[in-house]
Amino acid sequence: MGETHPHVWAADAIRRIQEDGRYGPPEAPASAGPREALTPLRRLSAAEGFEGVEGVDIYLKDESALPTGSLKYRLVRAMFGEALTGGRIGEGTPVFAATGGAVAAAGARFAKLLGLPFTAVVPAKTPARLLERIEAAGGQWQVGERPPAAVQQEARELADRCGGHLLDHFADAERAVAGWGEPTIADEIFHQLRGEPHPVPEWIVTGAGTGATSATIGRHLRYHGRPSRLAVVDPENSAYFPAWASGCDDYATGMPSRIPGIGRPRTEPGFLPSVIDLVIPVPDAASIAAMRRLHSAGIDAGPATGTALWGVCHLVARMREAGKRGSVVLVLGDASEPYRDTYCSAEWVRARGLDPAPYEADLERFARTGTW
């Protein structure tokens, strides 16, 4: 029996990744054809502990419902699709990533789906729970021999030596999502808001790691002429807020973010300040306090989602002060399971000198009164 023609194999591989992860009833924009949304959108109710925000509807775009529990699944999906159509991934191509986080878990899933070997090169101190996610998704990992800042280059060299492909999410994710052609997170949000009391939100709020998600939303708003505004929340040590505030596209703090999945020590190629209306700096302890607030309401979310909630509270309070009614969409980017032993642990948080208590009091007041 002869080998499968590369074009035939690629077309079948693309079909498989397109079919992966769809949930529920059709939700995609009509212009996109008969597809389904990847994640649900739901309104935050007063019963969930936010009774004081009457007049402003808060919606959660729940990316934790994606198969690997993180919005990074979308980015990796597009990166695989772009690499398949461009011929950089073929039958049997080894795939690599330089991270122990959500990108690696998603990469392992898609590689397994296509029958490809996957290896994540991870920093030495990667938590065991994250490594277990990679294994559970069907991949393998190896600890990098170089400092964390050089792990990316190490993974690239490994890929080059064996004719493999590196998933470089910082360099490639934004471009891949823009060119992939599937309905984006922004397409889904506006389609899912149709029929709601305020179908055009005042704000959409997200974090920025690669910058691809904020770039995708910002581009959508401008392309379609939406009057909604885009806010990016940014943790301590990250370069994104100072880059946006100063107008400097190439900014570096040299210090890593402590909030997984968002914030970077330097601006990444996918971060597009020109499509962002506001960047909100958020203290790390406030991110943890907001994550806990969501947990108390029965909403499973990770620390990056806590960062986003803190920004949402700021914006909703500002709307109420101005007497403005409407809606705000929060991108719920991650679930809490990978962080049970770290950010969800009071002992772990205290050991790192973080005190969420003052911020928890601010959130309690906001939830009751809508004031900030």
Q: Taking the chain, what is the end-to-end CA distance rounded to the nearest angstrom? A: 69
Tens digits of residue pLDDT in 190-211 = 999 999 999 999 999 999 999 9
pLDDT at 148: 76
pLDDT at 32: 40
The CATH number assigned to the domain with range 71-171 reads 3.40.50.1100
Architecture of domain 41-69+177-369 in this structure: 3-Layer(aba) Sandwich (3.40)
Nearest to 207, CA basis, from 319, 63, 363:
63
pLDDT at 46: 77
pLDDT at 25: 43
Which residues have a Cβ under 8 Å from the Cβ of 75 and sit 6 or more positions away? 103, 106, 169, 173, 176, 177, 210, 212, 213
pLDDT at 149: 77
Q: So where are the chain's domains?
A: 41-69+177-369, 71-171
Identity of the amino acid at 310: W
Per-residue pLDDT of the chain (372 residues; tens, 9 = 90+): 457 898 999 999 999 999 997 654 444 444 443 356 889 999 998 778 788 888 999 999 999 999 999 999 999 999 999 999 999 999 999 999 999 999 999 999 999 999 999 999 999 889 999 999 999 999 999 999 888 778 999 999 999 999 999 999 999 999 999 999 889 999 999 999 999 999 999 999 999 999 999 999 999 999 999 999 999 999 999 999 999 999 988 999 989 999 999 999 999 999 999 999 999 999 999 999 999 999 999 999 999 999 999 999 999 999 999 999 999 999 999 999 999 999 999 999 999 999 999 999 999 999 988 888
Which residues have a Cβ under 8 Å from the Cβ of 368 and sit 6 or more positions away? 51, 52
pLDDT at 34: 35
